[in-house]
Amino acid sequence: MGDLETTREKTEWTWGTQTFVVENAAISAGEDTCAMLLDASVVPLLPRTLQSPPLGPNPPAFFVADAGTKGAGMFAARDIPAGALILVDRPVAVVPSNVASPWKREAFDALLPRLSQISRGRLLALANCKPLSEFPLVEGIALTNASQISLPVPPTATPQEYGGVFPDISRANHSCGLDITVKWDLVSFSASLYALRPIRAGEEIFNQYIDVLAPHADRRTQLARYGFTCMCVHCDLPDAAAVARSDAARTELRDWRHLHPRFLPWSLDACRSDDTIIVSNRRALALIEQEGLYGMQVPFMEEIALSYAVMGDESRFCEWAQKVVDLCVGQDPQRAAEFAGWIADPKSYKRWGWRAKQKLILDQQKDPADLDISIPW
Ligand SMILES: [Zn+2]
């Protein structure tokens, strides 16, 4: 537990119609603090008493070690199953994104003395890929490490994006796969990092700094602002043909919903093949595996499970629904609980077997009055 007790810095900075102030938050019962540069109208909307964050694994599931030319990196301390919580982290700094103003150096640097010694040390230990001649120190570290977080939006103010600087999460280097997901939780002022595929002990744990569905050349351009050329397994490809294959797969996944059959129309159309969605979504899962984009799996797995549900195939439904539960149990517990409920009682799914009933009418030319085919949604 920690109170978001704040003391207002007297200095204020204006940007257009916005006024920014420095707020200082005690974010734990210990000496961890978080210095924030915020639109003043956001401050009263922040939770005054923070909920306890989820408990991270103990002993920790990760360690920080040398990652060669990339500097430090995050590694798995033991085998981590898909869906497992890897760590929970609270920010040491919160800064506005996309505020280009003359007072930036002064305002960003005003955050540093507001931190406890421990938090300041954790902030300053992070990498800075920006030259000090062009960027203030805290902004350079924020631009290198910050992850987008959502803060309350005042009804009358300009929506403002913010980045949080997380001392542990920031240790993960970039890769153009999607092996993990980070969930921000305002009420506990914490971010939780979950594995989306099994990660072996000693394997490096990567985060994503950019849009990884962008083509190879665009990713290189986007990563230039971090001052490195990505040599991850998805970028370090043997030839132009491999790059074209990867780009085609990522583009197809990005545009999937516009190009491929959808679950709901299929479930209502008995003239379409039973395996339409299953075949289509298995192709998506193959492309996801090829490109290491594991963060995209769940919606496709869900639709495969539900395809078996509307066909009334209990064993295959349970097999696929369990995959959804395993991946979502930490990062999306509501969805996990919904599928777990259907596994326990498949017929509680309101469309259970409905497509099978439709097929029966067509196949056997039965009198529809014999069957209940009322649309159950
Ligand atoms: Zn890459």
List the structure tokens of 213.
């569905």
Q: pLDDT in tens for each of the 377 residues of the chain?
A: 344 444 444 478 888 888 889 988 767 667 788 999 999 899 889 888 888 888 999 999 999 999 988 889 999 999 999 999 999 999 999 999 877 777 878 888 889 888 889 999 999 999 888 888 888 888 889 888 988 999 998 887 678 899 999 999 999 999 999 999 999 999 999 999 999 999 999 999 999 989 999 999 999 999 988 888 899 999 999 999 999 999 999 999 999 988 899 999 998 888 889 999 999 999 999 999 999 999 999 999 999 999 999 999 999 999 999 999 999 999 999 999 999 999 999 999 999 998 888 877 777 765 556 556 566 55
87 beta partners: 193
For the four alpha carbons of 114, 35, 100 and 72, in that order, the dihedral sign comes to: positive
Q: What is the CA(331)–ligand 1 centre distance, in A?
A: 25
pLDDT value, residue 4: 47
CA of 148 to the centre of ligand 1 (A): 20
User: How far is ligand 1, taken at its centre, from the CA of residue 212, in Å?
Assistant: 8
Distance separating alpha carbons of residues 219 and 261, to the nearest angstrom = 29
Does 59 sit behind a cis peptide bond, omega within 30 degrees of 0 on the bond before it? yes
Domain boundaries, the chain: 2-212, 252-370
Name the strand (E) or helix (H) holding 308.
Answer: helix 297-311
Q: How far is the CA of 103 from the centre of ligand 1 (A)?
A: 35
Which residues make Cβ contacts (< 8 Å) with residue 304, sequence separation at least 6? 277, 278, 281, 282, 320
What pLDDT is attached to residue 268? 84
Collect residues with CB below 5 Å from ion ligand 1: 176, 230, 232, 234-235
How long is the chain? 377
Distance 234 CA to ligand 1 centre (A): 5
> What's residue 26's pLDDT?
65
Rounded to two decimals, what is the model's pTM? 0.87
pLDDT of the residue at 1: 38
Confidence at residue 376, expressed as pLDDT on a 0 to 100 scale: 59
Q: Distance of CA 260 to CAs 45, 215, 280, Å?
A: 42, 20, 7
Q: Compute the distance from residue 210 Cα to the ligand 1 centre, in Å.
A: 10
CATH assignment of 2-212, given 3.50.50.60, 3.20.20.450, 3.40.50.2000, 2.170.270.10? 2.170.270.10
Q: CA-CA distance, 117 to 125, in Å (whole number)?
A: 12
